Amino acid sequence: MTEATRSIVVRAGLLADGSGRALQSDMSVWIEDDRIHAVGPAAAIEAAAPPDAQRIDLGAACLAPGLIDGHTHLSLAGDGRPYTEMFSETDEMMVLTGALNLQRHLSAGITTIREHGARNRVGFTLKEGLGRGYIPGPRMLVSGRPITCTGGHFHMCNETADGEEEIRRSVRRLVHEGADYIKIMASGGGTAGTDPTRASYSVAELHAAVHEAHHFHRLTAAHCRAKQSMVRAVEAGVDLMEHAEFLEPDGNLHFDPDLAEKMAETGIWISPTLQAWCQWPRVVFLRQRRDVGDASADELRRLEALEQRARGRLDVMRRMLDICGKERIVPGTDSGVNDLAFGHLDYDLQLLVEVGFTPAEALASATRISAEAIGMENDVGTLQVGRIADLVAFAGDPTKDINAVSNVVAVFQAGQRVLCSSATALSS
């Protein structure tokens, strides 16, 4: 005998199904085990669902597809310490850090993530623990370790490769160990001794990674802060470009319309990691201090400098959008590094609205569009029959006011309700 089907009917005052259709009111999602069985007007679903189905009424809340964060570093605490200190932790402590971070993200309505690179087997171990049900967390796609050149950004993770041959070997090794996609560092970054304004790999090296990854049906993501690395990543056929800052060797951001045209032509996915560049958690914190009159003169000066820095980045982003459009933009938090704590994809969505997305478009970028970018559009990203039942409910309408995304009232992952009352405390 097979186990009985578990039926749940979740009703909510509003529903944004992620398909781009207008918001619908008084709707229900009927879940059978881990999948969506039906979506429709509450009364119709009520009449059709089995009488013994569990019924959950979320009142006036707005139901949406679970959010997707395309860029996380689970093993890092995001507590403001420099890389050298964070990487002085043991692998065991990094796994524990990851377990806490997974919970924080899930509580914030994020039900799927890409883990963008950890040391040794930490990323793989976290995914395995999640799969065994030892720890709660968003569904993970893992890169395992990021591929980097000798002494390159994140070389501490121990997947160094120079030259096409070594890069091919790295891709094969990672795929063998269980990598769902390949992350490669195409420029320097925040790691001491690396230069974020210069490319780390040649086009031929990047192409070797892409070619080998695609051979194994794996997508590629390249860390590209330097403009030079962006040019090379496009040329090499990388699937997704991280950061895309247009950073020049003089240390400044110089938007390049010709490069943006090429990005638009190839349709490369772009993850601008806006909160990371803008140091947004810091800005939010300092603004709060200012608004209650607690900020010191020093803090006010710091805030002003950060806001100016953010304006420069957001200006580059706006000009890029004019050419590349909004349909290939994938939000990512870069959580874990610096003081980017887990649980705040909302910051990136707020910043997308700041650069011209409507709130509905920002929500679509973190759901339907992100699902396409990571190759999971048949499973997640929309509330449609047959999709995995990943749902998040917000107090308020996120298609009118994106700040509603910060106000999560319920989370369902694969048909299981996961949000507990302590969640808001955890994610703050």
Nearer to Zn ion, 37 or 183 (CB): 183
Nearer to Zn ion, 334 or 397 (CB): 334
Q: Is 364 helix (H, G, I), strand (E, B) or coil?
A: helix
Nearer to Zn ion, 16 or 240 (CB): 240
Integer Rg of the chain from CA = 21
Nearer to Zn ion, 189 or 381 (CB): 189
Following DSSP, what letter does each residue of 55-88 receive, concatenated? EEE-TT-EEEEPEEEEEE-TTS--SS--HHHHTT
Q: Give me the least distance between CB of 291 and Zn ion, in Å please.
A: 30
CA dist., res. 372 & res. 388, Å (int)? 15
**What tokens were used for 33?**
């085990």
Q: Give me the least distance between CB of 213 and Zn ion, in Å please.
A: 18
Q: Give me the least distance between CB of 39 and Zn ion, in Å please.
A: 35
> Which one of the spans 118-126, 326-334, 347-355, 365-373 is the region binding Zn ion (CB under 5 A)?
326-334
> Which one of the spans 167-175, 211-219, 281-289, 333-341 is the region binding Zn ion (CB under 5 A)?
333-341
> Which one of the spans 89-97, 329-337, 374-382, 394-402 is the region binding Zn ion (CB under 5 A)?
329-337
8 Å CB contact between 217 and 187:
no
CA dist., res. 110 & res. 195, Å (int)? 32
Q: Give me the least distance between CB of 415 and Zn ion, in Å please.
A: 31
Q: Give me the least distance between CB of 274 and Zn ion, in Å please.
A: 13
Nearer to Zn ion, 246 or 277 (CB): 277
Q: Which residues pair with 141 in a beta bridge?
A: 114
Question: How many residues comprise the chain?
Answer: 428
**Residues of span 220-249 touching Zn ion by CB under 5 A:** none
CA dist., res. 235 & res. 263, Å (int)? 9
**Residues of span 57-116 touching Zn ion by CB under 5 A:** 116
Following DSSP, what letter does each residue of 373-412 receive, concatenated? HTT-TTTSSS--TTSB--EEEESS-TTT-GGGGG-EEEEE
| DSSP label of 368 | I
> Which one of the spans 123-131, 245-253, 284-292, 328-336 is the region binding Zn ion (CB under 5 A)?
328-336
**Residues of span 114-143 touching Zn ion by CB under 5 A:** 116
Q: Give me the least distance between CB of 176 and Zn ion, in Å please.
A: 24
Q: Give me the least distance between CB of 404 and Zn ion, in Å please.
A: 27
CA dist., res. 140 & res. 426, Å (int)? 20
Site string for Zn ion, 339-378 (x = CB under 5 A): ----------------------------------------
Q: Give me the least distance between CB of 71 and Zn ion, in Å please.
A: 6
Burial label, 417 (beta-carbon count in 10 A; 0-12, 13-18, 19+): middle
CA dist., res. 73 & res. 159, Å (int)? 15
Kindly give the residue spans of alpha helices, DSSP state H, lying in 52-202. Answer: 83-86, 91-107, 122-132, 163-177
Nearer to Zn ion, 69 or 361 (CB): 69
Q: Give me the least distance between CB of 270 and Zn ion, in Å please.
A: 14
Number of residues that bind Zn ion (CB under 5 A): 2
8 Å CB contact between 104 and 426:
yes
Nearer to Zn ion, 334 or 361 (CB): 334
> Which one of the spans 133-141, 171-179, 334-342, 400-408 is the region binding Zn ion (CB under 5 A)?
334-342
Q: Is 292 helix (H, G, I), strand (E, B) or coil?
A: coil
Please report whether residue 334 would count as binding Zn ion according to CB under 5 A.
yes
8 Å CB contact between 180 and 217:
no
Q: Give me the least distance between CB of 374 and Zn ion, in Å please.
A: 15
**Chain residue whose CB lies nearest Zn ion:** 334
> Which one of the spans 197-205, 330-338, 392-400, 401-409 is the region binding Zn ion (CB under 5 A)?
330-338
End-to-end Cα distance, the chain = 45
Site string for Zn ion, 185-224 (x = CB under 5 A): ----------------------------------------
Q: Is 98 helix (H, G, I), strand (E, B) or coil?
A: helix
> Which one of the spans 190-198, 299-307, 327-335, 404-412 is the region binding Zn ion (CB under 5 A)?
327-335
315's enclosing H/E stretch is helix 297-324
User: Which residues contribute to the site for Zn ion (CB under 5 A)?
Assistant: 116, 334
